[in-house]
Structure 1
Amino acid sequence: MKRFYYLFVFLSFILFSSQKVYGQASFFDAHVSRYGELEQVLGEKWDKIDSLIVHGPINAADFKTMVHSARDGALHIINLQYAQVENNKIPDSGFVDWDWYTSGRYLDIRRIILPDDITEFGFCAFLGLTLRTINIPSSLRKLGESCFEDDKWLAVNPLIIPEGIEEIPVRCFQWCDNLKKIVLPSSLKTIDMLAFYYARVKEMNFPEGLDSIGYSAIYGTHLTEIVLPNTVKRIGNAAFSDNKRLKRVVLPEGLAEIPQRLCGLCSKLEKIEIPKSVIKINSGAFQWCYELKTNLPPEIKWIDWDAFSYCALDSIVFPTTIEYIGGGAFNDLTSLQKIYSMSPIPPICAEHPLVNPGDGPFDGYTPNDIPVYVPIGSGEKYRQAFGWNYFTNIIETDKFPTGIMSPKMGNNELCKVYGKDNELIIEIPNLLSSPIHYSIYSTKGTMIEQGNLTKSYTLKMPSKGVYIVRVGNTTHKIFL
């Protein structure tokens, strides 16, 4: 009998404890009649409910009530499909408690159901939640900056951005680790800086009509291919950097420059189609792309430091247009077998601006005994020129892989270029029958001026210093 009594007491304690622990988790259907009333309607239940449905008008104050119930209570699921949200906008910081977030904690709201008439998500609207699922209403027309930032558990796949949206704003999906597929609308014009920074998305389209992609916008994703439409006119620095699974990139025709660090650290990148329109490749553009093989565009003028260092290039063809090659641009090309340089005047080679002073574009583990083919009559100039003097096997030829015959060296220079009294002078002895192109750069790669000449020309320079001047196929380094 005594044993039965103790068993009864024990079971009663377990039942009581279960009710105390699990009885708090409950559903509540809240009906409100005016903005700001939700706190009053919840009353003493504010910290005991885990699921909430709201009927009626709500505003920013009501969102703060829901945040309070999630932070200090048990609220995990919020259904607003029957609510009338003020201005049809999820307010700025709508589901955020900044003290909580800045202390490194995630607000444990796991599911949100929105009304069908929402037109805007505010700044940081859903930032830093444990959110797993949310519906994106087709009525939505604006995403706020950082609105889904740091929602590491968000796993709506595919996540479809509604038609009418024109911008994925700054940090919108930054650090969304569980997004796998994004469907972007045909109305999209801009993917702004850091928009998908370290979002581990595997699939994403880039619609026709897209105009610009910002700094580090597609950084550190799991994409394997990026194909951009020709409508893209601007790409920010490091836009596609550190995409470890990226194998192929197609850039838009008409692009004039490759941005800094565009695909840096894309260690699996095998192929990138550089548009023929590109005349400048900026620093670190393809650095540490260990499997990359590609060709230089036919009118390239400027290749900045570290642009192709550690790539898998096995041959390089420098066209006659090349004017400047930065330090380390072709550093550590262990697979390189040959180089063709079609300009009769050796392109200017610079030292590395940050590391290994004295090293030119081709140092490190780039082999120095490979054949370097240059135009007939120019071999000695290449052997004496900084950067090119790294190589021990310079060979003169008039046959280049493009089939274009390299211009032969004449006995006389077409023109003289020199500096005097803070002026740069391009002296042409005789009036030319057809214009000749000229361009003037600072040693940092900034273009000062370009144009076409048929006679001598004098330009007042902005300051004293060193300038690089190219006239036709000749390149000059001028000190003022």
Structure 2
Amino acid sequence: MKNSLLLITLGLFASVGFSQTTTINVTSPGTLATLVGDQKNVITDLTVTGSLNGDDIIVLREMAGITKSGAPSQGKMSNLDMSGASIVPGGAAYMYDYSTYAQFYTKQDTLNTNTFFNCPALQTVTLPASLKAVEKRVFSVCGNLKSINVPASNTSLKSIDGVLYSTVDRKLLRYPTAHLGETFTIPGDVEIVGYEAFADCLNLLSIVVPEGVTTIEGVAFTFCKKIAAMDIPASVTSIASSAFNYCTGLTDVNVAEGNTVYKSENGVLFNKAMTEILRFPMARSGAYVIPSTVTTVGEYAFDMSSKVTSITMPENLEKIGKYGFYSCSKVTEIHLPNTVNFIGNGAFGFCSALKVLELPDALTEIGDWCFSGCKALPNVVLPATLVKYGEGAFSDCYALTSIAVPEGTTVIPASFCSGSKALANVSLPSTVTNIGQYAFFSCSGMKTLYCYAVQPPQCGFFPFYYVDKAACTLYVPKASVDAYKADNVFKEFNIIEGIEPSGIVGPQVDEVVPVAVYTLDGRVAPANYSGVVIQVMSNGTTRKVLVK
């Protein structure tokens, strides 16, 4: 007798084939593929019992329309009943995340991260009675999922009208993406709105958050594109910075007067003291002046605010969090006060209309991909204090023509200016010791590269790949020409010329002279220009000077 029993309802033998419920008992974990056989892409309604490990989850995912690699399958399973099954460790990883290189395995009585991620055929799911936990992204991108059900005997989870909750921590775990209805009121016993709880719910017009909710977790309402206003009750004490990402219809976030942690002003979300701006609603348009009390622009604060045309910064601003102004695609000028000392990852990424960028004198660090994709930015003057740069900081800045990295900088990060094809003139300081991989990849317009380091910097993979090394002249200290010509990377430049240590042929070693002059709006200053200009000095520093 076989260890595993395949039970098929009498309706199976009707002319409709496998269109009715199929019941499979998996008595040995990892054998579901054998039991299903050649009906894997035929079954639409499945009741599965027994013990399921990673191998079995792979099969269920394929039956629901997705392979382990993320490619579509031919599976048609729309209704899955696991009420009599249990999840056990073992078997292969059921999913591989190509962006993070993470693999996901089953855990005892737990639906682990991404268990049913991107299963397009799935419409209803009944979870095991023995299940104790549902982790993040279990039902992410299940665009046709209408109902998640839980047996009444389950002591850790519950379902009300197809919406999933944790009874252990009073959390709303998941509102199915395709759940019917345009409005939803969160039940009064809920304290936590979970990670991705309402993600991708394109049909919802409004969500009522009741008094008693204390926490709104990350991307809780992401891609709820039709919601125009969110009212935050006084009881809320924690809102994740990404909670409202991609809420493109959002015009107002309103906070109840009695809230002790948060405050709203004209529909914009702040902390109570109004020292940090937390969320500028994405559907707002026109110009905006950040209040003078603000010292921090929070993570994602203006993220994807594609309708705002200008933003005025407060005089005492100190910090800009990651993705703070990401993809503010109509903003043309950014003037940062001298009090700003830190700009986080992707803060101004893909501000595609940005033409004028004034960086503060106090700035010491910018994050990864900070100005990546600023396609219209022609010039940038880096302050002398700025010596730490994130990966890809000025990548894909198609209009950028020159960049001079200040003295004190030791590392040019990976992909620093990669893809900036108009970049003609580059100056690297004497302090640079390392140039990261692909740092100037595809900077095909480069004509001059000044590198003041006495020793050729160590380089990662292909830092100057697709730079025309026959047309670009490499200038290095006169005493170091032979060392650069012998270096495995720099020897590829056909023209390597020696310069005096000051960076200008002729002057004394201690003489520092201007090598480039810009107006305050980032343009190259004409010869007859009068007014305040920014000079890039031969040692990589910058200074403001009044020219009469």
From the superposition, tell whether residues 404 and 207 of structure 1 become closer, same or farther in structure 2 (CA, over 3 Å): farther
Match of 1:183 in 2: 289
1:397-416 superposed matches below 5 A: 397-398=499-500, 400-401=503-504, 405=508
Which residue, 217, 224, 243 being the options, matches 2:324? 217
Which residue, 150, 153, 162 being the options, matches 2:249? 153
The alignment covers a number of residue pairs equal to 307
Quick check: 2:339–2:362 contact (8 Å CA) kept in 1?
Answer: no
Cα drift, residue 165 of structure 1: 1.4
Cα drift, residue 376 of structure 1: 2.4
Match of 1:273 in 2: 381
Match of 2:201 in 1: 104
Which residue, 346, 369, 374 being the options, matches 1:238? 346
Match of 1:367 in 2: 469
1:455-466 superposed matches below 5 A: none
How far apart in 2 are the matches of 1:155 and 1:403?
61
Cα drift, residue 259 of structure 1: 1.8
Match of 1:335 in 2: 445
How far apart in 2 are the matches of 1:75 and 1:337?
59
State the SS of the aligned residue for 1:378.
helix
Alignment gaps of 5+ in structure 2:
1-178, 185-190, 253-264, 511-548
Cα drift, residue 285 of structure 1: 0.7
Tell me which amino acid in the other structure corresponds to 1:152: T
From the superposition, tell whether residues 371 and 234 of structure 1 become closer, same or farther in structure 2 (CA, over 3 Å): closer
Structure showing greater relative contact order (alpha-carbon pairs closer than 8 Å, 6 or more residues apart)? 1
Quick check: 1:213–1:236 contact (8 Å CA) kept in 2?
Answer: yes
Quick check: 1:184–1:204 contact (8 Å CA) kept in 2?
Answer: yes
1:264 aligns with 2:372: yes
Which residue, 311, 334, 343 being the options, matches 1:226? 334
RMSD, aligned CA: 4.4
Tell me which amino acid in the other structure corresponds to 2:484: Y
Cα drift, residue 383 of structure 1: 0.1
1:346 aligns with 2:455: yes
Tell me which amino acid in the other structure corresponds to 2:424: D
Alignment gaps of 5+ in structure 1:
1-70, 77-90, 113-119, 353-358, 408-480
Quick check: 2:435–2:458 contact (8 Å CA) kept in 1?
Answer: yes
Task: Give the number of the structure whose alpha-carbon radius of gyration is greater.
Answer: 1
How far apart in 1 are the matches of 2:199 and 2:251?
23
Tell me which amino acid in the other structure corresponds to 2:489: G
1:288 aligns with 2:377: no
1:197 aligns with 2:303: yes
What TM-score comes out, normalization by structure 2 length? 0.47
Cα drift, residue 272 of structure 1: 2.4
Quick check: 2:269–2:277 contact (8 Å CA) kept in 1?
Answer: no
Tell me which amino acid in the other structure corresponds to 2:449: I
From the superposition, tell whether residues 74 and 378 of structure 1 become closer, same or farther in structure 2 (CA, over 3 Å): closer
Cα drift, residue 287 of structure 1: 0.8
Match of 1:298 in 2: 407
Cα drift, residue 212 of structure 1: 1.8
Identity score, percent: 25
Cα drift, residue 261 of structure 1: 1.0
Tell me which amino acid in the other structure corresponds to 2:340: V
1:208 aligns with 2:318: no
Quick check: 2:315–2:337 contact (8 Å CA) kept in 1?
Answer: yes
1:307 aligns with 2:413: no
How far apart in 2 are the matches of 1:328 and 1:291?
19
What TM-score comes out, normalization by structure 1 length? 0.53
Tell me which amino acid in the other structure corresponds to 2:455: P
From the superposition, tell whether residues 327 and 103 of structure 1 become closer, same or farther in structure 2 (CA, over 3 Å): closer
Cα drift, residue 291 of structure 1: 0.7
Cα drift, residue 122 of structure 1: 7.5
Tell me which amino acid in the other structure corresponds to 1:202: T
From the superposition, tell whether residues 148 and 304 of structure 1 become closer, same or farther in structure 2 (CA, over 3 Å): closer
